[in-house]
Chains A and B, each alone.
Chain A
Amino acid sequence: MAKRSLWSRWWPLALALAVVAYALLQVVGGSLDLRLRLGRDEVWEGIQSRGVLRVGMEASYPPFEFADENGAVQGFDADLAHALAERWNVEVQFVDLHFDGLVEALLAEKFDLIISALPYEERLPRGVGYSRPYLYLGLQAISRVDDGAIAGREELNERRVAVELGSEAHQYLRLQNRDHGLAVEILAERTLEQAIDALKQGQADAVLCDRVEAAPFIQDEGLVGSQALLTAEPVVIAAARDASTLLSELNAALREMENDGTLARLERRWF
């Protein structure tokens, strides 16, 4: 009872203070970083007002991003950036920068998005937000059509698997043999082409390599790629974490591109 009577005495003053505080926030709000609370995304607004989507990448990773003979940026990611820009009715501007500096440059607002075959990193750098994956990379097994496709890791056990010396596939098989109970006979060849030759000539039962590297070989009518990747590494787009509208629009656009076949078309074009 005592508390209620105290409240009834002071509530007009509390209301007045709240009104004053709200008015003060309106006045000084421009100088405070209230973007999140007010639901504004200045990165998205910047893209719209400039009419330009600025994309950071290192254009040195074909077939994802590379400069053609005229210096124009080409590749899977370049096409993806153009497809996004078209949906948002803006132009694309590429900023070509060393991969190591991309995240810091994004946070320093040098561009709006990183589209550079960026691997999903579970230790998310502070201030960075990721899109949904638009692609999966990883290791793929190649075998002879007559032998059928490799269904999974276990099918490599006690078989001869050719790899490029020192490649990720080479290290993967060494780790499987050491820690995961497989006994793969690893044939380390100097080049991937030599590993493929070993497979074709019957000296190896399978070849293991990066999915993108495998693509041209499994178009060979005598060879077949495993349906599933033996490792799966999601590839994402990065934006500033507080660019909430941009991230939301980005995810919606990627979902659309997945559903309407755009992403599949890009894979067929570039891999």
Chain B
Amino acid sequence: MLSVPPQRLVVPGPRREVETLNPKMGVHTRLTDEVEEWKIQQTLALVRQMGAPWVVEYFPWAYYEPSPGRYEWGHADVVVDHAVAQGLTVLARIDYVPEWARPEDTTTRYLDEDGYDAYAAFVGAFVEHFAGRVQHVIIWNEPNLSFEWGYRQPDPEAYTELLRRAYQSAKEADPNIVVLAAGLAPTLAPVGDPWGMNELIYLQRMYDADAGRWFDGLAAHSYGLSFGADEPPAQDRLNWRRVELLRDVMVANGDAAKQVYVTEGGWNDHPRWTKAVSSYDRIQNTVDAYEMALHTWDWCAALCVWAFRYPWPARSFQDGFTLVTPEFVPKPIYSELARYAQGEPFEYLER
């Protein structure tokens, strides 16, 4: 008996289909640090049941390449296999620099040009390993923020070089892979600000550095903060529709044919954050945003709100973004979005 290997208790099962009236609905899951497989499966099953066919998930480079050329895909395989079994399309965000690829006393977002080839090689290895299961990769995260760029001044030209190398490596591994340029943080910070750079300026400088050749679609982050979904965009305001200004930059640079993937966004209902709204308004705004993506934003392929569930409570404003608690108690916003996706009457929302 002892020679019989243990049975796997949680298996992905046959592939399911997502039933939804809005095929652009998505969420950013946060399974990176979720240890127990049944919780991974349960999370992704709840996403499917809500009616969202898209998920963004974070795959930290440092977790999966602990030493140069040695890949450990175990946890990533579990996440991806369960997502695929639930009928979900995975957008894979890749960053977080291992210690071996950066100087001592630097942060996990620090990568100088000497490390670009190592990152690109990892992206290529990731694409090759997940061929047929993951069709989209996101190259880095919010490089227009100083802290996401290793506490250096944001550098669109340097990021473009990183993007170029990652793109080429990914395409060598799988010519059909869809490479997305990083979602930029919405910010009004001017050029020279120590903490970040206005994302509209940053994207234009990427185009000036010829970045248009090195991505197939643009990831975007879009937060409504205290404004409703209909609030018009403006250069000097952060709101939900600000992403339309990013789109304008793409069009102005001849990139209208490419799609935008909103890989983070939405509203927060923390009771004390001045940039939050009430839970009721959060539900209302999120439904409006999904409707906008479906009917108005023909250039938007997917809208993935931040964040579906955390493995444990953040005990901060971050908890105000989630749809389901760590204990798998669905919030009212989850059940209302499920009703929206299935075309059923709302329980709380008056419409």
Residues of A that sit less than 8 Å from B by CB: 60-62, 64, 66, 97, 99-101, 104-105, 107-108, 110, 117, 119-121, 123, 164-168, 170-171, 174-175, 178-179, 188, 190-191, 210, 212-213, 233
Contact = CB atoms under 8 A, between A and B. Distances in A.
A66 B272 CA distance: 10
B280 A166 contact: yes
Contacts of A188: 332, 348
Contacts, number: 81
Contact of A61 (B195, B272, B312, B314): B272
Interface stretch (B76-84, B239-247, B323-331): B323-331
Interface string B300-329: 000000000000101111110000010101
Contacts of B135: none
A171 B325 contact: yes
A190 B278 CA distance: 8
B189 to A, nearest CB: 11
B260 to A, nearest CB: 23
B333 to A, nearest CB: 6
A62 B316 CA distance: 14
Given A171-B331, A233-B315, A191 B278 contact: yes
A166 B331 contact: yes
Nearest to A120: B315
- Which of B151, B319, B333 counts the most A-chain CB atoms under 10 A from its CB? B151
A175 B332 contact: no
B272 A212 contact: yes
Interface string B268-302: 01011111001110110000000000000000000
A191 B145 CA distance: 35
A228 to B, nearest CB: 19
A175 B329 contact: yes
Contacts of B272: 61-62, 64, 117, 210, 212
B153 interface: no
B32 interface: no
B26 to A, nearest CB: 21
B141 to A, nearest CB: 12
B147 A101 contact: yes
The 4 A-B pairs at the shortest CB distance, nearest first, are namely A166-B279, A119-B315, A60-B274, A101-B147
| Interface size classification for chain B | 20 to 34
Interface string B139-162: 000000101000100000000000
B89 interface: no
Nearest to B279: A166
A99 B317 contact: yes
B107 interface: yes
Given A123-B312, A167-B271, A171-B325, 18 more contacts: A61-B317, A62-B272, A101-B145, A101-B147, A101-B195, A104-B147, A104-B151, A108-B147, A110-B151, A119-B314, A119-B316, A166-B269, A171-B329, A171-B331, A175-B325, A178-B329, A188-B348, A212-B272
Contacts of A119: 314-316
Contacts of B329: 171, 174-175, 178
Interface of B: 107, 145, 147, 151, 195, 269, 271-275, 278-280, 282-283, 312, 314-319, 325, 327, 329, 331-333, 348
Given A60-B273, A165-B279, A165-B280, A99 B316 contact: yes
Chain A binding surface SS class: mixed
Contacts of A166: 269, 278-280, 282-283, 331-333
A191 B283 CA distance: 13
A179 B314 CA distance: 21
Nearest to B315: A119
Contact of A175 (B147, B273, B315, B327): B327
Contact of A105 (B147, B327, B348): B147
Nearest to B195: A97
Contact of A167 (B273, B279, B283): B279
Contact of A179 (B107, B282, B327, B331): B327
B316 A210 contact: no
Contacts of A233: 315
Contacts of A165: 278-280, 332, 348
B32 to A, nearest CB: 13
Nearest to B150: A108
B147 A62 contact: no
A251 B70 CA distance: 44
A58 B348 CA distance: 32
